[in-house]
Chains A and B, each alone.
Chain A
Amino acid sequence: MAGTQTERAHERQDRPGESPAEYLDRYGRMRLIRRFEQEIHRLFLKGEVHGTTHLSAGQEAVPVGVCSALEPDDYVAGTYRGHGHALAKGTHPEALAAEMLGRATGVCGGRAGSMNVIDLEHGLVGCFGIVGGSIAAATGAAISAQRQGRVAVAFFGDGASNQGYFHECLNWAQVFDLPVVYVCENNFYGEFTPMASVTAGGEIGIRAASFGMQSQVVDGNDLWAVREAALEAVARARGGEGPTLLECQTYRHYGHSKSDPGKYRPPDEVERWLARDPLDLARARLLDLGLSGDDLAAKEAEIDAEMERAVEGALAAAYPDPAEDAGTEYKE
């Protein structure tokens, strides 16, 4: 099957947006997310990141593949596991790191923290600390997007597909033909609970059928597969043909949050998924497509240096001064 996909990738590479060099950049973006999560993990253990944080390592192909199919002014709504959503849409790594560290230079001035990042300049209408909130935010953004020729994307997890937000908003979007793509990052666990034990019907993609909505189950660890599915869904949305549900099957490498070592997951299952690390898969594919080990090493070094500068800059930034940053309740 991998050979077939590579063949398809070979066939595609003459099309705009499909060259190996462009995929190398996408691989770089995935590595940026991975390195970001590793740094946040390290900084959390040092007490520099406060409260809790939900890391997306292992799931990088989904936001990078989906956002690669979007225009810069399209809208994205993410989740409390949203660092990857923000970085994939274009949020500055240093501004995002500074936000995690509670610094004044954070993308939200340190007011938001890990779970609630908002970056409108890059089309990120928000990351939502309540499971399912992103689905509504993107649905609403799609009402505006419909008038603006734009598209809105909601990222959410398998757990959110059991929320009222999911069922109400998918019905709504289909009824009004909204230009929205619902991207379920199915990592097979809702917090500590296996998805299968609390989710009827076996898979999430088929739920779209009850709304008459297009859907696809996608290998969420395969950057090429995610991008291909996203391109199709985004084209459908932009063409006025309505919403799509993409179920991207993936796996998180860390536990649910910082209080969770993830011990409820069977070791052989973890092994199986680690063997399908989306970064390793992308790396192998890029070599297959003719890039050299040096090409990849150069991109990796560039990204690692960018991440290092981002963390250094964020750590050097000041905390917000309560005397200066009282904040206002309302926009006057």
Chain B
Amino acid sequence: MSELEFRKAIRDALDEEIERDSSVVFFGEDVAAAGGVFMTTPGLHEKHGSGRVFDTPISELAMAGAAFGAAVTGLRPVIEIMFGDFMALPMDSLVNQSAKFWYVSNEQASVPLVVRSAVGAGGRFGAMHSQIHGSWFQGIPGIKVVAPSNPADAKGLLKSAIRDDNPVIFLEHKRLYSVKGPQPTEETVPLGTAAVAREGTDISIVSALRGVRDALEAAEQLAANGIDAEVVDLRSLRPLDHETVLESVAKTNRVMLVEEGTRVGGWAANLLGIVAAEGLHDLDDAWIVATKDTPAPYSPTLEDAWLPGSAEIARAVRERLGVAAASS
């Protein structure tokens, strides 16, 4: 069977869920007629009609609020907030309305909605089109945060997110859209479960989104140095599957967390705290590789240096383990 492209995985998941459940509606800026600025949703409007798939005004706050109000009255909205950076605008509705409704209402009803966004740096988009809002939302009870790293997971996780009865923030890394990978083997992938993307014995490299792909590349480079790295793909940031991470650390005794985001206040620091609290006895070494503490720069030289890529991941592991780089 042919490989699946990440953007096609997103499109297919939406298409199949809109088809499957008449309460699913999908709206956002330029998602219908234009098919999405990252070409993730072409043809959905034509196939399912304006009642199910429609373009909205550039009004992110109204969009999230409309999704909330629709979700508590019987619909299952999926919205696209085009770039993750724009998530600062609808935050009130998502944080104060959608996230709190189930608990504060004394469980009268939940808020089944999904907010998809393109996230991440490396596309030379500059400081206001390159952020990842996963860590902004990770500390909010009631919300789920999903962060796929490959096409099969993206499809299965998005289908799970749409079927989930709770508000889900769904992150799509821009530098994954054109990635191709194996077709999914399962219809859905459960939210809140991490996966071991590569087995190894010497160190656990934990990441999410594009970072997993970089970590897998780094692991291949490290194999040439005789270092056998395990790569853990978190897949969700909330609920956070720290059990899988702890199991991996119990095996390797070392953990490096790779986050495209800042060291302070990021998911990696949070997870490292949990690993220290619950798995200190298994740890010989633990550290974080993150971005610099500045906004994402524009210039290619600056942005490449700002991002933790596969070369930096491999270098950091070798340095920490005291292994010299293999001569090429």
Using a CB–CB cutoff of 8 Å, the interface residues on chain A facing chain B are: 75, 77, 106-109, 111-112, 116, 118-121, 125-126, 128-130, 133, 135-145, 147-148, 152, 164-165, 168-169, 171-172, 175, 327-331
Contact = CB atoms under 8 A, between A and B. Distances in A.
A137 B65 contact: yes
A168 B57 contact: yes
Contact of A141 (B59, B62, B69, B105): B69
A120 B102 CA distance: 12
B73 A125 contact: yes
Contact of A136 (B25, B74, B93, B109): B93
Interface residues on B, range: 35 or more
A136 B69 contact: yes
Contacts of A140: 65-73, 77
A281 to B, nearest CB: 33
B267 interface: no
Interface in B85-121: 92-93, 96-97, 100-110
A203 B165 CA distance: 41
B141 interface: yes
B309 interface: no
B146 to A, nearest CB: 13
A164 B93 CA distance: 12
A172 B144 contact: no
B166 interface: yes
Contacts of A329: 102-103, 141-142
Given A133-B92, A331-B110, A141 B70 contact: yes
Given A111-B106, A118-B104, A330-B142, 19 more contacts: A108-B104, A111-B103, A116-B100, A133-B93, A133-B97, A137-B97, A140-B67, A140-B77, A143-B25, A143-B70, A143-B73, A145-B73, A168-B59, A168-B65, A169-B59, A175-B57, A330-B110, A331-B107, A331-B165
A89 B103 CA distance: 22
Contacts of A106: 106
A182 to B, nearest CB: 13
A126 B66 CA distance: 14
**Which residue among A107, A164, A331 has the maximum number of chain B CB atoms within 10 Å of its CB?**
A331
A130 B72 contact: no
**Which residue among A75, A107, A164, A175 has the maximum number of chain B CB atoms within 10 Å of its CB?**
A164
A145 B72 CA distance: 11
Nearest to B69: A140
B92 A130 contact: yes
A138 B69 CA distance: 6
A241 to B, nearest CB: 19
Contacts of A126: 72, 97, 101, 105
B104 to A, nearest CB: 5
B75 interface: yes
Contact of B166 (A129, A141, A171, A331): A331
B34 interface: no
Contacts of A125: 69, 72-73
Contacts of B61: 136, 164-165, 168
A128 B73 contact: no
B73 A136 contact: no
B56 interface: yes
Nearest to B50: A176
Contacts of A152: 69
Interface string B25-46: 1000000000000000000000
A172 B57 contact: yes
**Which residue among A128, A140, A143, A329 has the maximum number of chain B CB atoms within 10 Å of its CB?**
A140
A51 to B, nearest CB: 14
Nearest to A104: B106
A118 B101 contact: yes
B72 A135 contact: no
A171 B57 CA distance: 8
A165 B104 contact: no
A25 B237 CA distance: 53
Contacts of A327: 103, 107
A330 B166 contact: yes
Given A172-B56, A331-B166, A139 B105 contact: no
Given A136-B65, A141-B72, A144-B75, A330 B101 contact: no
Contact of A118 (B64, B73, B108): B108
20 contacts: A106-B106, A109-B106, A112-B104, A116-B100, A121-B108, A125-B72, A126-B101, A129-B96, A136-B64, A136-B69, A137-B65, A140-B70, A143-B73, A144-B75, A165-B62, A168-B61, A168-B65, A172-B56, A329-B102, A329-B142
B59 A172 contact: yes
Interface in B200-254: none
A106 B56 CA distance: 38
Nearest to B93: A136
A125 B66 CA distance: 12
